[in-house]
Structure 1
């Protein structure tokens, strides 16, 4: 069957694969994909992420993430619409362009038109490694776009040791996604290897996941047929953004705040692509250290994650850290620094980071470890450390921390059991993880707000336990929290000199 598309003129017609058997009727709650696709490993799929912007009122109850046995059944609160890999092309699917994923995406767009963002690709580029000049911009559209530094962000230091990778990064007010590939060649001029990256820039990272497969196919195409940019030109013409202009300057899109359903309650700029099991890997990788990272994220500290290439999985760790700091109570966090994701950074970003008071980023360059003025928390493998003496107590795991991690693990196991046994694809680990920490954060700030509004403004041990914290082990964390958020309460918990 041949179907007309709305793409660029070059790609006006597309051959659509033969129709597949109709899936079973969806659940009443409107799931748009069959459970069979829910856990396909290695898929590239949209997820939800984080927000630091104040939003509307909380739209879920604490029961959704309370750790009680019935929380697994509360899928109306935790669940989202389609399976997250519903956007992934089927292996072997015939596609000319590779950057769109067919009817499931169109169906999803139709079902949620009121919040879907439009394509806003402001640049597309090809980066190559030249044996004489190093990383250079080989080609780009538009030709006058400022890509200074992108040649190093799109091809991470140490990438010559791996065959492929993908990288999220930040360029000024834009976000980028680049796919890298390294192909052996019989060329003395290229020293036996040809390395390129193909990437895009956008005002937000919300929709970058849509083009992962296209960028992967294009970087392979550029390696095999250098200098052929026809498909990239057509892609840019089809997807280029018309951005709002104010005072002569291009500005980013305005965010959509707190829309009424679980898969829209998160800020739209929370989404980042991830393979199936990304959040599961994040939880397993850090274990109880997630709670330590949670405290640093809530305190808006500068968190830097080091790892050798590949960079893609480390970008997911940046994403995971940002998921820890969500607060949905109105007015909370207005006066604190934005917890900014920078994703991959290199030495060219040092000057920018010197002026940042709160961020989370990753790097492959070990030299950053020596530049302690650029970060508060340094993460190397599972080792989380800080050089600030006043933050040292936050590295110690206490009883309340272990209890939180146990509850998170229990809820995750219940979710996995539901997916495996009941074939329930309506909820996923992403939402469970995000809502778990959002509920913890809301619980803390709700209690602090109530105490602050009371007559005596006294925070007692009972209050602290009610927030899910340890009165002794979390005393330092609470003191810092009150200071960072400017909350006017009096902490009367003594810090004993001995156990």
Structure 2
């Protein structure tokens, strides 16, 4: 069966091979061509039930254009964008390049594939780049990112990763073969690179099909060649080598319900799986993410679902108020990392990444927070208090769970498909973060910039249990207020 491209109807790069049989396939030599390269190992919902002091007023940081529209029947509130806010110009916020374009054209991401490649495991040389386009692309290291450490134990996987200023997606597969030369197993991965991770999900099925084709018929590169010619990017010069970070949530992002940024792979239930997996520990991760800490998640293969956790963790720190966090490090998703990334990680001030290599746990200079499955821990004594859940944390998690249940009920019983769990999850934490920074901004701009216990409660935080979190938050974001909270142990 052939699925034709919507960009070039004469190209049949999406050739879908028949299903791979479960039994071993005959040995087939890997076809090497002149371009072969080898590399050496190297919605908007309420965040809590706390009083909403100051939450309805305009932000001191910029226009507040979102609103919560209550359904009046107990269901989760829905997101509404107020396009009548004085001074808000959608063309201006989009930039001059978008003026004159339709809404669909403004938000439709263009194909930006900068490289396509095939990685194979060779019993003598290890992981190696078997084939790639374009031929002059630097792909050093992708052979280890595309086949994660420990993948020989699984039959298939997908991996998000970073390569310099690009993001990559690779699909891996492992089948038994009747070959002593290949030691009874053939392992390959087919991947792509792009300047942005938000469009990589479009090609997941194609990459899965192609890796199966490469396993059954090694050396059949024509579909990949046609794919690259159809989708290759025409990119402007890079500005200072900057990497596309986790989406910055502005009014324009919100107005289109956060698609496609939020759906990096369109996984069914990605956010709900994240919530079920970590439970109340999400509130601990939320604090570390908002403080822009270096977060490393360990898990054995498969690594695809762990890449989802990296993404979801980045989403915990979204803020829609203009100007907030402009001077703090961006929380960058590194996705999968291995020992070849150690040098790069040493220079990062803030990131979220995942790995299958246990040796990272010993390299404490590379991270602030280490997540081993559901166990969140830190070796830094100043961050230890943030590991303890307080009453406000549990209240916020209970509120999130309640809203999820109401959403699921409305979808199942009433057939309401206007909202989904991903939107609910994003908006829950964004409103929580917005509330915190709006109140902090109002206090900082007041004649007496003193943060009291009443202010802290209005943020949905615990005046005592979240004291160290607030101290760190004020320091990280450079907010000049005085924190005055009485010690309950003293008269």
SS in 2 for 1:423: coil
CA drift of 1:265 comes to 5.5
Contact 1:243–1:250 (CA under 8 A) maintained in structure 2 = no
Please give the residue correspondences for 1:243-322 in structure 2 after superposition, counting only pairs within 5 Å.
243-245=235-237, 258=250, 260=252, 262=254, 264=256, 266=258, 269-322=261-314
Please give the residue correspondences for 1:373-392 in structure 2 after superposition, counting only pairs within 5 Å.
373-392=365-384
Cα RMSD of the aligned pairs, angstroms, is 2.8
CA drift of 1:278 comes to 1.4
Match of 1:7 in 2: 8
Q: Distance in 2 between matches of 1:423 and 1:110?
A: 31
Distance 1:236 1:110, change over 3 A: farther
Distance 1:369 1:497, change over 3 A: farther
SS in 1 for 2:188: strand
Match of 1:200 in 2: 192
* Structure 1: runs of 5 or more not aligned: 16-54, 79-108
Q: 1:402 aligns with which of 372, 384, 394?
A: 394
Match of 2:172 in 1: 180
CA drift of 1:495 comes to 3.8
Contact 1:154–1:199 (CA under 8 A) maintained in structure 2 = yes
CA drift of 1:425 comes to 1.5
CA drift of 1:63 comes to 6.0
Q: Distance in 2 between matches of 1:426 and 1:400?
A: 30
Larger helix percent: 1
1:72 aligns with 2:75: yes
Q: 1:235 aligns with which of 227, 240, 248?
A: 227
Distance 1:8 1:237, change over 3 A: farther
Q: Distance in 1 between matches of 2:248 and 2:330?
A: 17
Q: Distance in 1 between matches of 2:209 and 2:282?
A: 35
Q: 1:142 aligns with which of 134, 138, 144?
A: 134
- Aligned residue-pair number: 425
Contact 2:13–2:227 (CA under 8 A) maintained in structure 1 = no
Q: Distance in 1 between matches of 2:156 and 2:487?
A: 52
Match of 1:478 in 2: 470
Contact 1:77–1:262 (CA under 8 A) maintained in structure 2 = no
Distance 1:251 1:243, change over 3 A: farther
SS in 2 for 1:189: coil
SS in 2 for 1:157: coil
Q: 2:125 aligns with which of 104, 117, 133?
A: 133
Contact 2:300–2:356 (CA under 8 A) maintained in structure 1 = yes
Contact 1:244–1:251 (CA under 8 A) maintained in structure 2 = no
Q: Detail structure 1 runs of 4+ shifted over 6 Å in the superposition.
A: 12-15, 249-257
Contact 1:482–1:488 (CA under 8 A) maintained in structure 2 = yes
1:157 aligns with 2:149: yes
SS in 1 for 2:256: helix
Contact 1:4–1:14 (CA under 8 A) maintained in structure 2 = no
Match of 2:66 in 1: 60
Distance 1:232 1:414, change over 3 A: same
Q: Give the TM-score of the pair, scaled to structure 2.
A: 0.81
Q: Distance in 2 between matches of 1:162 and 1:244?
A: 39
Farther off after superposition, 119-128 or 416-425: 416-425
CA drift of 1:297 comes to 0.2
CA drift of 1:156 comes to 0.2
Q: Distance in 2 between matches of 1:397 and 1:491?
A: 21
SS in 1 for 2:472: helix
Distance 1:454 1:295, change over 3 A: same
Contact 1:58–1:329 (CA under 8 A) maintained in structure 2 = yes
Q: Distance in 1 between matches of 2:346 and 2:6?
A: 47
CA drift of 1:357 comes to 0.8
